[in-house]
Amino acid sequence: MSSIETFADRLGSYLEPEQINLVRRAYYYAEQAHDGQTRRSGEPYVTHPLAVAHILADMHMDHQSLMAAMLHDVIEDTGIPKDALTQQFGETVADLVDGVSKLTQMNFETKAEAQAENFQKMALAMARDIRVILVKLADRLHNMRTLGALQPAKRRRIAKETLEIYAPIAQRLGIHSLSTEFEDLGFRAMYPMRSQLIERAVRNARGNRKELLNKILESLQSLLEREGLPGKVMGREKHLYGIYQKMRGKRKAFNEIMDVYAFRIIVDKADTCYRTLGAVHSLYKPFPGRFKDYIAIPKANGYQSLHTTLFGMHGVPIEIQIRTEEMEELANNGIAAHWLYKSKDEVLNGNHARTRQWLKGVLELQQRAGNSLEFIENVKIDLFPDEVYIFTPKGRIMELPKGSTPVDFAYAVHTDIGNSCIACRVNRRLAPLSEPLQSGQTVEIITAPGARPNPAWLSFVITGKARGNIRHFLKHQRHSESIALGERLLDKVLASFDTCLADIPEPHVQQVLNDCGLELMEDLLADIGLGNRMAYVVARRLLERDSVETETAKPEVAEPNSREKPLAIRGTEGLVISFARCCNPIPGDPIVGYLSSGKGMVIHQENCKNLADSRHNTEKTLHLTWDKDVSGEFTVELKVELEHQRGIIAQLATSITVADASIDKISVDERDGRVSVVQLVVRVRDRLHLSQLIKRIRALNGVMRITRLKN
């Protein structure tokens, strides 16, 4: 068991004496605060904070992080307030301890919603000061190393949480050493039997292959000496959870995974990495398509290395990673490798800048997300980035998760480009917006002023940024459209009482808003537009005179006059007006609107059977007319009966295209050996366009009857 003095000696290698004294002071404060408390194992509680500080010292973390590690359970477990820590150790350390305490209160046993909110807290704490999460990761690692003292059910719960949340965060911050240990410890606690089986099999396989492994290692080492390349070669251990995931995810047998021999070559500088790569390729033949250059294009978490796979002796595959000492340090300790809190003015190096960028993205997701579940869904996608690298037309490289589409790319470039995107070119050719992108492609986004995100994009976008922005835009758009429709509906009713909204005194408006439990008139109008409140009822309440206002008798509200004009439909109202699929109304048809709660207005044909029961409800059903400038395409369902002839369906499709209409759906049903019935869903502009289309179809040889289907 380590003591504080041994620990202080160890810190002498990279901290100043006064900084070490502050860490020592924090330890003694924690020891006093936790006096009398023990861990499940029976040890004094203070051994835990000291062990957490040891883990951070391995990563050469700054003295404030080490002090926070010593004190991280003081607020929660001993009742000492944050103010007391601020007085003793300064605001920064107190903030760090407070941040870690809040994360410690996270309880993942609760329902998904609560788990998501906790995860949100963690992301925000990280965004404020990344050291909070590093102390939390070290705390979790020591808890995982000492899981043995807990009940099996609690062990499994903590292990599951570690594999789902903490290991990916460590990986995302580039701290490979923590990530692999989390995975192996979590695997051991979650699946003890599977873990033991794989561990035993790995031990046996390693013993059998020792001779061949040494031969390859020697041949690589002597190659470096021959070529005058400074570097050392070492065998690379495969961790148990990685083997298990490959066996499960890639459906590979254990022998297939263990037949690959893995090595790492550490050299002095980036230039030597490429020279070493050339040398190993001349020694063994490389596998085609298996070379990756993460030095020129680092991973999102800052990881840099050259990866290649070779055919070694006796044809066995050899995986080799080539990197510098600095890259090795960065791969193991990630964001903690070069601690930059010494000076606020220091320019962030590439790794820190990338992490800051990611955390900025996390904060953006937090602001855009409708709720915490949506937020966790988006961040989880960004935590597991199997990247593709895409080029902008100007040659800039963008990193995106695997499976990303041009729409994801558009939002990654800029939110406004995503929102106004209408098409794209991939490698200079027009391509669908839903097509998954491949590394190395050049993508150009075509935008148009006034274009809007399409709700259908949500079915194929991958990144949290794209998903969050599309949802945010549609929610905002729906809200503003429901306000506009609500205003039109209320004005229409008020006009029938020979008044308008502007003529109603402000106190009356405020009184109605108070009665409805709303603050703004916009909220009331949005409710009317969404069908949650009736425009007629709201109008009556606005027109009633408040008895407090005048001492005279309350006059009756006038009855509506008969000059009421129907509301005109333009076809561009957006998300709050929809056209009923049962009768498919088109411009020119007599129409009525039905206000459906929460959905807005659904437009039906006047004689639609589905409205038979609702027609008497004058508050929910209102007469409409088509605006003279109505625009857009409208769906119509047609039934065409025709004689069997070779190529008749192709002729039918051609006639529809020539008539400037488009086919959404077509199905053919054979009535008997002589007659076929074709059901078509086509898009037309209005009734005139429909009649021209029907005339053209009738002119076809073999068409017996054509009917427009309603209900």
What are the residues whose beta carbons fall under 8 Å from the beta carbon of 168, sequence distance 6 or more?
179, 380, 383, 384
Distances (CA, A) of 288 to 264, 296, 310: 20, 19, 9
Catalytic residue flag (residue 669): no
Cβ neighbour number for residue 559 with a 10 Å cutoff: 8
- The phi-psi region of residue 125 (left if phi > 0; otherwise alpha if psi is between -120 and 50; otherwise beta) is alpha
Distances (CA, A) of 261 to 212, 235, 316, 318, 538: 9, 8, 8, 5, 76
The Cα–Cα gap between 376 and 115 comes to 9
Both tokens assigned to 320: 């080799």
Catalytic residue flag (residue 76): yes
Residue 670: phi, psi to the nearest 5? Answer: -85, 120
At 119, is the secondary structure helix, strand, or coil? helix
- If you ran DSSP here, which 8-state letter would residue 442 be given? B
In three-state form (DSSP H/G/I as H, E/B as E, the rest C), the secondary structure along 541-556 is HHHCCCCCCCCCCCCC
Contacts 24+ apart (CB under 8 A), 80-86: 80/33
The catalytic residue among 58, 76, 491, 544 is: 76
The Cα–Cα gap between 533 and 516 comes to 10
The Cα–Cα gap between 16 and 66 comes to 13
Bridge partner residues of 682 (DSSP): 636, 663
At 317, is the secondary structure helix, strand, or coil? strand
Q: Pairing mode, if any, of strands 285-286 and 261-267?
A: unpaired
Residue 138: phi, psi to the nearest 5? Answer: -65, -40
- Cβ 138 vs Cβ 168: under 8 Å: no
Which single residue is written with the structure tokens 């490979």?
176
The catalytic residue among 31, 43, 58, 77 is: 77
The Cα–Cα gap between 620 and 598 comes to 13
- Cβ 67 vs Cβ 44: under 8 Å: no
The Cα–Cα gap between 104 and 76 comes to 8
Amino acid letter, residue 492: K
Alpha helices by DSSP H, listed for 108-249, are 112-128, 130-145, 152-161, 167-172, 176-190, 192-227, 240-249
What are the residues whose beta carbons fall under 8 Å from the beta carbon of 426, sequence distance 6 or more?
406, 435, 437, 441, 442, 443
- If you ran DSSP here, which 8-state letter would residue 234 be given? E
The burial of 546, by beta-carbon neighbours within 10 Å (0-12 exposed, 13-18 middle, 19 or more buried), is given as exposed
Both tokens assigned to 597: 């709660």
Which single residue is written with the structure tokens 């502007």?
502
The Cα–Cα gap between 667 and 678 comes to 6
Catalytic residues: 76-77
